[in-house]
Structure 1
Amino acid sequence: AAHHRHAHEHLFRKGLNDTAAVCTPGCTTIWKTMTGEPTLVAPSTTKTQTQILTVTPSPKTSTQAPPPPPPTQAPPPPPATTEIVVVPTPVVTTCPTPGTYTFPATTVTIQKTTTVCDATSTKVPSGVHTIGGVTTVVVTATTVTCPVATIHTSGSVTTSTIVQTTYVCPSAGTYTIAPITTTVSEETVIVYPTPATYSPGTYTAPQQVVTVTKTGFVYICPLTSKGLSTSTTPVSTSTPAPATTTVKTQAPPPPPVKTTEAPKKSEAPKSSQAPSPPNNNGGDLVSNNDHLGMTYTPYVGTTGQCKTADQVDSDISAIKNAGFSVVRVYSTDCNTLENVGNACSKYGMKMIAGVFVKSSGCSIDTPDIKEQVDKLVAWGKWDLVVLLVVGNEAIMNNYCSPQQLKQLITDVKGKCSGKFNGKVTISETLNIWQREDVSSNLCSHVDITGANIHPYFNNGVAPSEAGQFVRGQMSILQKICNKSVITLEVGWPSGGQDNGLAVVGLDAQSIAVKSIREQCGNEVIFFSLEDDRWKQKGSCGCEDSWGLGRAFNINTSS
């Protein structure tokens, strides 16, 4: 399933582009140099292979540290070679032989919004490959202006730089701007640059201890934002907005806006069992009408920037007036706790709070997780919270193992002990919950079974059958842990590609929502309030079209 996530890539960017999508002759590229420091990526001199590694973060990182020394390692392997950069790009290191390597903590502070070269890697077979670049889909002749990453080689030094390009697309179609073509003689992990935009703030990479089992292993150590200013740009955490995301899946807005990963919609596994109502003793997690709650992320629908407190207040008021009693949030960025919490308190609504987990780590000491938990503990308005969700499709996206997520739940509960004694759960799809390693580790650690269920991704489900499908999935979920079930995301896209019987459109969306409300609306959280036009459309063409405001007659602030 694609993460709702809330996986967020830069607008129009793909990690590995289809060579057939490259623009044919007739497109004109005009290059202009963008202001910013270039970054260096040392080319690998040894064969690169895949490996199994163990990463152990240290509990703390310094906030004002001098440039770190080269990484050290336990004998017998020789020292790893690392390029230290002066902007918060990931540090790329080649570990020449098997062994244990220690990478010291790194802290970088920037004063203004900066676009730099990020590092991305992909494993490819032998042959010619087209990678990188920025991919865009246009519906008419269009001129696109965007930053792209380029590579220049001089002797043994490879320099990656960001340039601003104006790309003229003569007609409707899919175009890849400034892709990189490379030839490899055998299966190889290629590291190549992509644009990344960073807001002002301090970025930190904790000390890492890495065990390498293969020769020539390339290790990319990312830096995570810490202590960013609360401006109009969303803080990058990995969530949430529905971020980012997801891809649980969980796509950010156009540069220079930097946002968290919004969750992507999750494909729901097929169910052959007839639905039967689960025993749900959820208390505040069951409403007395046919629409319990709505997911909410405080991002402007067209740009992905943070909404103001007044805009959030207006949205929460509209959600309340539509008859909802609960709002689900994914993380703490964009002053979510303060702005959404104040509005919920004002209008008499409850909250489902969240700790968003992304690829940077699944430990209480992972910087972005620690930042979220610290904010939750300091916030103090736990009387508003009826449920705390730790991770949004974190197992599905391979951000956490079941054992790691189990430990994270324990640690989060410990941090919040004495302040919050309510229900705690995770949010995964049914097929993840059905795994023995998941149920055996996590059933005992959740108070209610939380799941994301999106019937659109099952091509045998028509809009009119959406509610029956969701009810059937909830019935199966109830038997896994023998606990109450809450659907933490359910919706239907108004745009994108038809998926068999699961057709899209405003009418189809209205029919699906009506079906869900009739079957189980009092036990589900609808996804989501408004369309997120700043997101990439995704493979379904639908990731930006899940807004349900029209279906519930809600006018939003965007």
Structure 2
Amino acid sequence: MNPLLFYYLSLALAVPLGEKNHIHHQHKRAPNADPVADPQPVPQPQPIAAPSPETVYVTNIVMMDQFDDTATSTTALDSTPTSTSTDTPNFSIQLVNKNLQSEASPSSTDSSPTTTPESTTESTTVSVTTSEIASSSTANSETAQSTAQSNNSSGSYSGAKGITYSPYSNSGQCKSSSEIASDMEKLSEFTLIRVYAPDCNVISALLDSLSSNQQIFAGLFYLDSIQSDAELLATQVKSSSRGWDAIYAVAVGNEWVNSGTYSADTVVGAVSKGRSILQSLGYTGKVVTVDTVPAYQNNPTLCDASDFAAVNQHAFWNGNIAPENSGKFISDSIDSMSSLCNKDVLICETGWPTQGQTFGSLGVPGKSQQSEAIQSIISAVGDKVILFTTYNDLWKQPGSYGVEQYWGLF
């Protein structure tokens, strides 16, 4: 690309272009987030010259290869990687037509829980190279919404032990009990449903919807609210005739060590505290903390704290595992964890994204890749894995490789 053109476009922006840390496993809305919060003031973009009479502003630019210097950049809408010339890198610019602001209405399909206010301007996304600027449709977000729950509505995942589920709509608001019940109709083949927290009255909704041979893998997501969340969990469980028997296990935290949120010692203490609180509320079942294989390997005390080794493991994030070899990768991970902890091992998340950028050499997002990975995993170790996840989570942020929203199986 022409260096001078890129220089002036960069000056028009106040957006960093080099985020590399992914935010995977951020499975719950921000604490105390208000899905209908009042919009905050939006910084006024700086104008640049445009060939038309209308005033046009650059508000966002994304380099398709900005996130990984070694990975092959791909687009998010196709399962086949798209090569990008190193001489003329593709990037996207979002243009705002200032003249139409007074007529535009707020979007009704916000894909994340209002950490960013909805725009009241009409925007057009254009794809830019050194030789052309071509206009594209403004309906990109609507397309993402319409495909969010249609990846594999008829696919069978028989043989997998469970699946993860989040009770949030695309906007981040809680789903109703009837909506959760409708979702559970699609998940009857799984004996285990994993949720990350007891909010949205999800435990009660699940207990009203699941069959007698299905159980819930519950979670306490925040360290500073273990007591209140455990009490909320207990209240919902005791309102059901099944009681605590319906709870397979309770996870205290999700990847707290891997994310650097807390030290291993803090997590061990939190698990002990959570177990004591739960016992006082009548629960005597299994209590664990869920983390990654490296987190357990570097901190074996996590094995001692948990009643079984509860691990999230995704072949995609290895970067050098082809989708069809995911089953062997997960199987080897289970063997490694079994030797390390000398306990039963349950993979609490495993999956493959359908959209986003390539990670490493073989981590290529796509629907066909997801299907190959999941079938490989089920064939190898289906009874020891919880698949990730039921639907695309458009309420999340895209993450550093643009994949965080697109792991849905249905």
**C-alpha contact 2:106 2:120 (8 A) present in aligned 1:** yes
Name the aligned partner's letter for residue 204 of structure 2: E
Q: SS at 1:351's partner residue?
A: strand
Superposed, which structure 2 residues align to 1:157-556 within 5 Å? 166-167=120-121, 169=123, 171-172=125-126, 290-300=159-169, 302-320=170-188, 323-344=189-210, 346=211, 348-357=213-222, 362=223, 366=224, 368-378=225-235, 379-380=237-238, 381-417=243-279, 419-435=282-298, 438-440=299-301, 442-499=302-359, 500-549=361-410
Contact 2:23 2:404 in 1 (8 A): no
Matches of 1:390 and 1:460, distance apart in 2:
31
Q: Structure 1 runs of 4+ off > 6 angstroms?
A: 137-147, 162-165
* Structure 2: runs of 5 or more not aligned: 1-21, 36-44, 50-55, 60-91, 108-115, 129-140, 142-157
Give the letter aligned to residue 547 of structure 1: G
More off after superposition, 162-171 vs 377-386: 162-171
Number of aligned residue pairs: 292
Give TM-score, length-normalised by structure 2. Answer: 0.64
**1:498 and 1:524, CA in 2 relative to 1: closer, same or farther beyond 3 A?**
same
* Cα distance change of structure 1 residues 141 and 472 upon mapping to structure 2, 3 Å threshold: farther
SS in 2 for 1:427: strand
- More helix per residue: 2
C-alpha spacing 1:504/1:140, structure 2 compared with 1 (3 Å): farther
* Offset of residue 318 of structure 1: 1.6
- The 3-state SS of whatever aligns with 2:196 is coil
- For 2:279 and 2:379, the matched residues in 1 are separated by 38
Q: Indicate how the Cα distance of structure 1 residues 478 and 2 shifts in structure 2: closer, same or farther if over 3 A, else same.
A: farther
The aligned amino acid for 1:172 is V
Per the alignment, do residues 319 and 168 of structure 1 end up closer, same or farther by CA in structure 2, a change over 3 Å counting? closer
Q: How large is the RMSD of aligned CA atoms in angstroms?
A: 3.2
Per-residue deviation, 1:417: 1.4
Matches of 2:371 and 2:253, distance apart in 1: 29
Q: Is there any run of 5+ residues in structure 1 with no aligned partner, and where?
A: 12-21, 31-136, 148-161, 175-252, 254-288, 550-558
Q: Is the 8 A contact 1:291 1:524 kept in 2?
A: yes
Alignment deviations for residues 98-156 of structure 1 (CA, whole Å, 9 cap, x no partner) = xxxxxxxxxxxxxxxxxxxxxxxxxxxxxxxxxxxxxxx77787779889xxxxxxxxx
Name the amino acid aligned to 1:292. Answer: K
After TM superposition, give the deviation of residue 498 of structure 1 in Å.
2.0
Aligned in 2, Cα 1:164/1:350: closer, same or farther, shift over 3 Å? Answer: closer
How far, CA to CA, are the matches of 1:511 and 1:163 in structure 2? Answer: 38
Over the matched positions of the two proteins, sequence identity in percent amounts to 28
Q: CA deviation at 1:312?
A: 0.9
2:83 counterpart residue number? none
Give the drift of 1:422: 1.4
Per-residue deviation, 1:428: 0.6
Q: For the residues of structure 2 that align with 1:138 and 1:319, how far apart are their CA atoms?
A: 40
1:134-145 mapped onto 2 (5 Å cutoff) = none
Normalising by structure 1, report the TM-score. 0.48
Question: Per-residue deviation at 1:541?
Answer: 1.2
Q: 1:299-350, CA deviations, whole angstroms, 9 ceiling, x for partnerless residues?
A: 12x3222111111111112201xx2111001001111121122212x45411
The amino acid across from 1:369 in the alignment is I
Change (3 A) 1:369 1:416: closer
- Please list the CA deviations of residues 148-195 of structure 1 after superposition, one character each: whole Å capped at 9, or x if unmatched: xxxxxxxxxxxxxx9986456554269xxxxxxxxxxxxxxxxxxxxx
Q: Identify if the C-alpha distance between structure 1 residues 24 and 451 changes in structure 2 by more than 3 Å, giving closer, same or farther.
A: farther
Q: Is the 8 A contact 1:3 1:397 kept in 2?
A: no
